[in-house]
């Protein structure tokens, strides 16, 4: 049986649902995927449990459920309107939890105003607000208890609030309910944003395709309807609608959504193309080889879902602690109230007073705030520094990583090709009489003239370089292109062309010396373009381009090394490029990787330590999801940013060190808060039991612990970043 579950905000929701279902007779093989909100289970025929019982149980826990029938989804929830908005389309204030927060805020504000106008009735007004606010949580706590989760965080919170209400601290009880509701809302928003990454992946494949019939006619059809062996037309600027092979035409294709290759790849008849790739400059006819359900993007989506589902559900710290803390405190309070009067003839009123005081001291307000207060401060200071962290779990985990895997293109590098070398070979055509900078300038001017008007990234890089150098670019005529191979133009009456070394080798005369120079540049990981005269077949010069390292890449990697964190570079680019850049950075590397290869390597590295993955491309989405922490560069694709746990909005490699330092500072702050909260309570628990301190001291102890925890958490707002690198002083002789 398959279901769709709504309202799961954190990994602990999985445990609550699984615990409830496993207690039901006949239910087995329960598999719940938090990322896709899908539930699969087996139900034994003839078992006492019916499908309606499963739906009723899950709804009683506060979750929505609908039965997945394969082709359509039949809702098991009452729908009030045919125009009901999809959950992912709602604003936060339109959701059930958003309405609850807004309602509680209005109720608490009204209670505070009425208490000022009618002080004598203030406590009763707050009491009404507390009862209304805590009712949904208490009802959920009761349902969880009935299904096996006896000491959930809802139970912990409900007991704390009702305990505070009983001893007259209605204002504090109301504040706890309100803050807890806000925390639940934040988790819901974070969960929806995480799931948006999967929806964004599907949008990469165009919704329509141009289908060619046997007579050569064209018609627009849904891309999802394409079948194997269909023939589709892909125009310049279009995204490829399906995985297939080229049967007619040639072009350069931007495969970065799939392979991460930084430079467009020239493809012609017989070459394979991927769904989602961008056709740059030629018209192609492609034969479909895979349906929409089996194409490359669909596989990437599946990898993301599997990676997110494979993450072990980690319950919140307070949820784990409450399994022991809540029953222990309740048992101790009950014993203090009952045992002394029965066993020692004590006064019932005195010991009831002490029991309630103990319950107030044990009220986990400070403990509940200890983690989220520090996390909130950490997230705030991170956002101020351009570190978008999508929740406390990611902030906690990143400080524990021992290995950071970097995608190369757009992460360690700029993601844009730059001109690195200009070589002038001949003086017969050039007006200059030397091979120096003036000769290079004239070669660059000819390159830019031929490339003017082309939208190819390499052409744009060459023209931009010439303009930045203030080179006068000659006017070209009769410009044309051989798709995926070369560009042509006539300058001063001579026909010139620019192509790859392979194309130039067939169309021009390349000497052994020139070939050696080309190979030397390629061995440095550079892409080489050759300028030659089409009539005389003479090679005039070379331009080499490379996607260069970010300005702060060296410093960023060095900072991580100083913090005891290992760096590894993973890329879909060729081995020569990867080796040249990795040697420059002094990092380990792996090259020519497809998405599944990156996934395999990350899983191998995860066996030894916690690992973070930093990327910016669509092809990085599965790796970002499977790593302990996925980190996206802010200048990358929306898909990478949505899939990742953290986004570096300023696209600085050095921010990785700041991120890890912030996480470690936050965790230190949390540990201090827990010690404050439990230590202070421990002291006053003892003094209260022996009658040394009374109710007012109990209230002060609880409030004092809360204030200490809050003030300590606020210290994180002064976080200054990772310590700067210490360089050895220069010795002056």
List active site positions: 407
- What the block records as the tokens of 230 is 């269909």
Return the number of other C-beta atoms located less than 10 Å from residue 343's C-beta.
8
Of the candidates 273, 257, 307, the residue with the CA atom closest to the CA atom of residue 619: 257
Cβ contacts of 328 within 8 Å, gap of 6 or more: none
Return the number of other C-beta atoms located less than 10 Å from residue 93's C-beta.
11
DSSP 8-state class, residue 540: E
Of the candidates 90, 272, 308, the residue with the CA atom closest to the CA atom of residue 185: 90
Give residue for tokens 């209304």.
Answer: 132
Distance from C-alpha of 509 to C-alpha of 515, rounded to nearest angstrom: 10
SS3 648: strand
DSSP 8-state class, residue 527: E
Distance from C-alpha of 696 to C-alpha of 682, rounded to nearest angstrom: 16
SS3 649: coil
Kindly compute the dihedral angle of the four CA atoms of residues 99, 196, 294, 306, in this order, to the nearest 10 degrees. -90
Report the DSSP beta bridge partners of residue 403. 566, 611
Angle formed by the axes of helices 170-202 and 365-384, to 10°?
A: 40
Of the candidates 202, 309, 211, the residue with the CA atom closest to the CA atom of residue 257: 202
Contact 556, 650 (CB under 8 A): no
Using alpha carbons only, what angle is made at residue 407 by residues 404 and 413, rounded to the nearest 5 degrees?
110
Distance from C-alpha of 21 to C-alpha of 192, rounded to nearest angstrom: 24
Give residue for tokens 């020692």.
Answer: 344
Contact 544, 419 (CB under 8 A): yes
């Amino acid at each position: 049986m398959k279901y769709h579950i709504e309202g799961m905000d954190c990994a602990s929701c999985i445990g609550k649902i699984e615990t409830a279902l496993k207690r039901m007779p006949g239910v087995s093989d329960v598999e719940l995927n938090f990322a896709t909100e899908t539930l699969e289970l087996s139900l034994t025929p003839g078992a006492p449990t019916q499908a309606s019982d499963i739906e009723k149980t899950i709804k009683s826990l506060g979750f929505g459920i609908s039965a997945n029938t394969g082709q359509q989804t039949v809702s098991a929830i009452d729908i009030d309107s045919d125009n009901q908005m999809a959950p992912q389309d709602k604003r936060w204030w339109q959701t059930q939890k958003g309405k609850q927060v807004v309602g509680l805020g209005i109720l608490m504000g009204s209670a505070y105003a009425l208490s000022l106008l009618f002080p004598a009735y203030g406590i009763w007004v707050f009491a009404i607000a507390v009862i209304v606010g805590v009712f949904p949580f208490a009802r959920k706590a009761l349902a969880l208890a009935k299904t096996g989760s006896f000491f959930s965080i809802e139970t912990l919170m409900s007991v704390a609030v009702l305990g505070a209400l009983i001893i007259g601290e209605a204002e504090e009880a109301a504040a706890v309910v309100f803050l807890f509701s806000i925390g639940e809302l934040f988790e819901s928003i974070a969960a929806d944003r995480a799931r948006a990454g999967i929806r964004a992946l599907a949008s990469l494949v165009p919704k329509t395709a141009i289908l060619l019939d046997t007579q050569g006619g064209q018609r627009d059809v849904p891309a999802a309807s394409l079948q194997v062996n269909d023939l589709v037309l892909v125009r310049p600027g279009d995204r490829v609608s399906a995985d297939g092979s080229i049967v007619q035409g040639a072009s350069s294709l931007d495969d970065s959504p799939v392979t991460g290759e930084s430079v467009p790849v020239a493809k012609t008849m017989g070459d394979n193309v991927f769904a989602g790739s961008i056709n740059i400059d030629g018209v192609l006819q492609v034969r479909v080889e895979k349906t929409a359900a089996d194409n490359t993007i669909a596989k990437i989506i599946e990898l993301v879902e599997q990676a997110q589902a494979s993450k072990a559900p980690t319950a919140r710290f307070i949820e784990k602690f409450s399994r022991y803390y809540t029953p222990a405190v309740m048992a101790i309070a009950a014993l203090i109230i009952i045992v002394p009067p029965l066993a020692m003839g004590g006064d019932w009123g005195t010991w009831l007073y002490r029991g309630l005081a103990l319950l107030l001291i044990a009220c986990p307000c400070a403990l509940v705030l200890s983690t989220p207060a520090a996390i909130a401060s950490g997230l705030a200071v991170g956002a101020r520094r351009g570190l978008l962290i999508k929740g406390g779990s990611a902030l906690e985990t990143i400080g524990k990583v021992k290995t950071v895997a970097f995608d190369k293109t757009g992460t360690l590098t700029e993601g844009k090709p730059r001109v690195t070398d200009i070589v002038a070979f001949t003086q017969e055509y050039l007006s200059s009489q030397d091979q120096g900078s003036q000769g290079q300038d004239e070669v660059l001017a000819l390159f830019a003239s031929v490339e003017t008007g082309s939208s190819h990234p390499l052409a744009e890089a060459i023209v931009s370089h010439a303009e930045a150098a203030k080179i006068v670019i000659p006017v070209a005529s009769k410009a044309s292109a051989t798709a995926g191979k070369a560009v042509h133009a006539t300058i001063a009456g001579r026909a010139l062309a620019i192509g790859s070394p392979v194309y130039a080798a067939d169309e021009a005369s390349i000497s052994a010396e020139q070939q050696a120079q080309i190979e030397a540049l390629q061995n440095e990981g550079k892409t080489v373009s050759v300028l030659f005269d089409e009539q005389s077949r003479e090679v005039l010069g070379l331009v080499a381009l490379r996607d260069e390292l970010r300005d702060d890449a060296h410093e960023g990697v060095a900072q991580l090394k100083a913090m005891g964190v290992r760096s590894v570079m993973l890329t879909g680019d060729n081995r020569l490029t990867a080796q040249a850049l990795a040697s420059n950075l002094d990092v380990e590397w792996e090259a020519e990787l497809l998405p599944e290869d990156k996934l395999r390597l990350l899983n191998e590295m995860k066996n030894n330590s916690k690992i973070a993955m930093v990327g910016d491309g669509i092809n990085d989405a599965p790796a970002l999801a499977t790593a302990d922490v996925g980190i996206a560069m802010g200048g990358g694709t929306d898909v990478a940013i949505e899939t990742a746990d953290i986004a570096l909005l300023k696209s600085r490699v050095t921010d990785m060190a700041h991120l890890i330092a912030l996480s470690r500072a936050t965790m230190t702050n949390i540990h201090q808060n827990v010690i404050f909260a439990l230590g202070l309570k421990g002291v006053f628990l003892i003094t209260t039991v022996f009658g040394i301190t009374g109710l007012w001291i109990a209230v002060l102890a609880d409030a004092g612990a809360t204030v200490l925890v809050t003030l300590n958490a606020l210290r994180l707002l002064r976080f200054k970043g990772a310590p700067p690198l210490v360089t050895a002083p220069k010795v002056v002789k």
